[in-house]
A and B are shown apart, each in its own frame.
Chain A
Amino acid sequence: MTDPLLTILYILVFPGFVFLLIYSLFIEFLDRRVTARMQNRVGPPFFQPCADVVKMLGKEVIDPDGVDRRIFDAAPLIALAAVMTAFLCIPVGGNSIIRFQGDLILVLYLLLIPTIVLFLLGWLSRNVFSAIGGIRAVTQLFIYEVPFFLVMLAPALMAGTWSVSEIAHWQQENAWFLLLQPIGFVVALVCLQAKLERTPFDIPEAETEIVAGPWTELTGRRLALMHLAKYASLVTGSALIAALYLGGPMTPWVILPVWLGWAAGFFLFLVKTLAILLVLSSIKVATGRIRIDQLNAIGWKYIAGAALVQVALVLVMNFWQVGI
């Protein structure tokens, strides 16, 4: 893709920003629908997430007293922009357009930004619920982020590359990391759930305790953008796990012509991300919210422990040349 026009199309339309937004809204619909059906409710109609966003964009924006308006406006935009940029590095059909050694690190750090923005929003809101929520968000970040980074880097260690696309390729030639590193896959899913602040890790926005946490003072377009950023993170996070552990969009054998191969890869991408979403939704439905001190204990004892074991196993396997 050397044609600059194609590059711009890739970034802005497909599979870049426009696709990400549409797919996020679709994933939100599916998430809400699946949750509702499991809870024996009807759930929202197909259009609901889109209608929500449009409605919220048109709503009045309310500034809490004494809040720096410009930062308050910018924060959700920054969160959304970070997630969108991260998505560009992840292979959707074939290789992603932005790929270099180390794009995995870039993606991980960009995915961290929404949480930091949430903390900032909580801190800026000048509201006790938001402030507590923001602090909880950051406390939680310290618990899940270390194991999340570890298990995201474990495939890179084995594949010997720091590029998401190349790791996906490596799996095409060898085996899925789901089979080679099953512990890492489970830890990655749990940490993604925590990262997205979904039950049982919805501690920062525990409705019955602190209203909506950092989201409390968000209104209108700020809420709409932050909401989009959350579901875009869900898409990006599941796409990342799909690429690192489920072989991403790479087809097991070469399909010609190129466009057909690309389409097949895109189909695989959709299937794998939706599968991950189903797992995440099931976790959400099957659990209640745990307390931050309980998460601290569980996170450092078991989740971080499991991640470390996985990395140690990878190093041993690398030494004995297993799987290569």
Chain B
Amino acid sequence: MANVIVPIGPHHPALKEPVNFRIVADGERIVRLELDLSYNHRGIEKAAEQRDFIRVLPLLERVCGICSHSHSTVFVKGIEEIMELEIPPRARFIRTIIAELERMHSHLLWLGVAAHEVGFNTLFMWTWRDREAVQDTLEEMSGNRVHYGMNEVGGIRRDLTPSEVNAALARLPHLEERIREYAKMVNDQETLLIRFKGVGKLSRDEALAYGAVGPTARASGVDYDIRRDDPYLAYTEVPWNVVTDTSGDVYGRTRVRIGELQESIRIVRYCLENLPEGPVRVNAPKTAPMGEILSRYEAPRGELAHFIRTNGTDKVERVDIRTPTLANWTSVALCLVNQNLADIPVIVAAIDPCLSCTSRITVVNSKKRTTGIVTFDELRKQSHLRASMQERR
């Protein structure tokens, strides 16, 4: 049978956000994947250059609805490092608590979505119900369910009261039990096993070569976690383990995420029980000295990097956001080859794609009605041009 092109997207029920796949298929077997990512360019990086450090945080939090705390934390972490600011330990712990709660709600959401993609709606409903407990905790702590608004340069904006700490601790045992149940389910449930096992294989070498990050990489046996390898916040002071798996398929990614859920509960419990006393913020200067920094952070989906360049004013000169989804896309294109057409939704969902956060730039030729990409060489040329312009200045 000749190769046919199956278009999926930009609007498709399996996709919650706009993206366009062109699947080249030979019958039910996938030969190649062509990706068209940028349907939702929002100009956040440019907008971030126009706001001072106080006003830029609400904006950056809105890069992503799920990892909102990740984006603001990675940014303030970078700015604090440029300012050489040491934040109080209590603020560090509370940031860690929020970060791990965020990871929990993200992974529970993912588990539901993955189950839904293979038509197992019961697990979908159950995980989303249990996710509410995490969201309630977050709402109690920060006042918001999605965009917590906890971070500011120099610390956090809201302290935790003892009653909030106790309420959060009281919710953990139930969650722990439910997560144990899901871990059992993923290992026992026959229909999940036959849809997850051996689907979307990514070997360790491929994961390294294609730059996969986060649970996607760890499921392929890449022992790499920013929280341990480039520690920040309170992760050096808390006992926890990096979860890896060797199977490299969707099943492995599920197991890694469930393992991380269990680790997150441990971290949150430890932080809540050992919350240091003291202030939650220090006064930060209005402006940051000139500098460049690559701030890295382990978001729920993987390594998130903000490249920040400051120029001595109260605004950043440039912030470049590399979301984990962008790093994982190429591995999806690889995973899909030789798989069944029916497995596209679950393989794509397995990296937990966050498409609108990923959208950076698209080259549109409106006359010819085509879109294109910028090659690496063209990018290099542009950066040389920019460097020489700066020298002249």
Q: Which residues of A contact B (CB under 8 A)?
A: 38-41, 128, 199-200, 202-203, 206-209, 211, 285-294
Q: Which of B1-30 contact A (CB under 8 A)?
A: 6, 12-14, 28
Q: Which of B305-350 contact A (CB under 8 A)?
A: 340-345
Contact with A along B241-254 (1 / 0, CB 8 A): 00000000000000
Q: From A297, which residue of chain B is reached at the shortest CB distance?
A: B194
B340 in complex: contacting residue of A202, A285, A293, CB < 8 Å: A293
23 A-B residue pairs with CB within 8 Å: A38-B122, A39-B121, A40-B129, A128-B6, A199-B119, A199-B120, A200-B191, A202-B119, A206-B119, A206-B342, A208-B13, A208-B345, A209-B341, A209-B344, A285-B122, A286-B122, A287-B191, A288-B118, A288-B191, A288-B192, A290-B191, A291-B194, A293-B340
- B266 interface hit (Cβ, 8 Å): no
- From known contacts A288-B191, A288-B195, A289-B118, infer whether A209 and B125 are also in contact, taking CB-CB under 8 Å: no
- B116 interface hit (Cβ, 8 Å): yes
Q: Is the CB of A289 within 8 A of B120?
A: yes
A207 in complex: contacting residue of B115, B119, B120, B123, CB < 8 Å: B119
A291 in complex: contacting residue of B117, B123, B342, CB < 8 Å: B342
Q: How many residues of B contact A (CB 8 A)?
A: 29
Prevailing SS type, chain B contact patch: helix
A96 to B268, CA, bound (A): 65
> Which 7 pairs from chain A and chain B are nearest by CB?
A289-B119, A288-B120, A39-B125, A288-B191, A208-B14, A288-B118, A208-B345
Q: From B6, which residue of chain A is reached at the shortest CB distance?
A: A128
User: How many whole Å from A8's CB to the nearest CB in chain B?
Assistant: 43
- From known contacts A288-B115, A288-B191, infer whether A40 and B126 are also in contact, taking CB-CB under 8 Å: yes
- B189 interface hit (Cβ, 8 Å): yes
Q: From B340, which residue of chain A is reached at the shortest CB distance?
A: A291
- From known contacts A209-B342, A209-B345, infer whether A199 and B121 are also in contact, taking CB-CB under 8 Å: yes
Most chain B CB within a 10 A radius of its CB, from A290, A292, A293: A290
A40 to B12, CA, bound (A): 27
A272 to B28, CA, bound (A): 41
User: How many whole Å from A299's CB to the nearest CB in chain B?
Assistant: 14
Q: From B115, which residue of chain A is reached at the shortest CB distance?
A: A288
Q: From A287, which residue of chain B is reached at the shortest CB distance?
A: B191
A203 to B343, CA, bound (A): 12
Chain B residues lying within 8 Å of A202, measured Cβ to Cβ, are: 119
Q: Which residues of B contact A (CB under 8 A)?
A: 6, 12-14, 28, 115-123, 125-126, 129, 189-192, 194-195, 340-345
A309 to B121, CA, bound (A): 34
Chain A residues lying within 8 Å of B191, measured Cβ to Cβ, are: 200, 287-290
6 extra interchain contacts, Cβ-Cβ under 8 A, other than A199-B119, A291-B343? A288-B189, A288-B195, A289-B120, A289-B191, A291-B195, A291-B340
User: How many whole Å from A199's CB to the nearest CB in chain B?
Assistant: 6
User: How many whole Å from B1's CB to the nearest CB in chain A?
Assistant: 14
A203 to B118, CA, bound (A): 10
Q: Is the CB of B122 within 8 A of A39?
A: yes
Most chain A CB within a 10 A radius of its CB, from B122, B194, B345: B122
Chain A residues lying within 8 Å of B116, measured Cβ to Cβ, are: 208
User: How many whole Å from B121's CB to the nearest CB in chain A?
Assistant: 7
Q: Is the CB of B118 within 8 A of A293?
A: no
A288 to B341, CA, bound (A): 17
Q: From B344, which residue of chain A is reached at the shortest CB distance?
A: A209
A241 to B44, CA, bound (A): 61
Chain B residues lying within 8 Å of A291, measured Cβ to Cβ, are: 194-195, 340, 342-343
User: How many whole Å from B28's CB to the nearest CB in chain A?
Assistant: 7
Q: From A298, which residue of chain B is reached at the shortest CB distance?
A: B194
Most chain B CB within a 10 A radius of its CB, from A39, A203, A206, A208: A208
Q: From A199, which residue of chain B is reached at the shortest CB distance?
A: B119
A200 in complex: contacting residue of B119, B129, B344, CB < 8 Å: B119
Chain B residues lying within 8 Å of A293, measured Cβ to Cβ, are: 28, 340
A71 to B343, CA, bound (A): 33
Q: From A291, which residue of chain B is reached at the shortest CB distance?
A: B342
Chain B residues lying within 8 Å of A292, measured Cβ to Cβ, are: 342
Q: Is the CB of B119 within 8 A of A208?
A: yes
User: How many whole Å from B324's CB to the nearest CB in chain A?
Assistant: 23
User: How many whole Å from A138's CB to the nearest CB in chain B?
Assistant: 15
Q: From B342, which residue of chain A is reached at the shortest CB distance?
A: A291
Chain A residues lying within 8 Å of B126, measured Cβ to Cβ, are: 39-40
A152 to B344, CA, bound (A): 37
A204 to B251, CA, bound (A): 24
Q: Is the CB of B14 within 8 A of A209?
A: yes
A45 to B191, CA, bound (A): 30
User: How many whole Å from B348's CB to the nearest CB in chain A?
Assistant: 10
A79 to B344, CA, bound (A): 32
A38 to B343, CA, bound (A): 27
A195 to B188, CA, bound (A): 26
Chain B residues lying within 8 Å of A40, measured Cβ to Cβ, are: 125-126, 129
A286 to B345, CA, bound (A): 21
Q: Is the CB of A208 within 8 A of B117?
A: yes
- From known contacts A288-B189, A291-B195, infer whether A207 and B340 are also in contact, taking CB-CB under 8 Å: no
Chain B residues lying within 8 Å of A294, measured Cβ to Cβ, are: 194
User: How many whole Å from A282's CB to the nearest CB in chain B?
Assistant: 10
A198 to B126, CA, bound (A): 20
A208 to B343, CA, bound (A): 10
Chain A residues lying within 8 Å of B195, measured Cβ to Cβ, are: 288-291
Chain B residues lying within 8 Å of A206, measured Cβ to Cβ, are: 119, 342
A294 to B343, CA, bound (A): 12
User: How many whole Å from B257's CB to the nearest CB in chain A?
Assistant: 17
A26 to B78, CA, bound (A): 61
A181 to B343, CA, bound (A): 37
Q: From A202, which residue of chain B is reached at the shortest CB distance?
A: B119
Chain A residues lying within 8 Å of B345, measured Cβ to Cβ, are: 208-209
Q: Is the CB of A211 within 8 A of B13?
A: yes
A294 to B197, CA, bound (A): 13
Chain A residues lying within 8 Å of B194, measured Cβ to Cβ, are: 290-291, 294
User: How many whole Å from A72's CB to the nearest CB in chain B?
Assistant: 23
A286 to B28, CA, bound (A): 27
User: How many whole Å from B194's CB to the nearest CB in chain A?
Assistant: 6
User: How many whole Å from B20's CB to the nearest CB in chain A?
Assistant: 15
Chain A residues lying within 8 Å of B341, measured Cβ to Cβ, are: 209
Chain A residues lying within 8 Å of B14, measured Cβ to Cβ, are: 208-209
A40 to B194, CA, bound (A): 25
- From known contacts A40-B126, A209-B344, A293-B340, infer whether A287 and B120 are also in contact, taking CB-CB under 8 Å: yes
User: How many whole Å from B97's CB to the nearest CB in chain A?
Assistant: 27
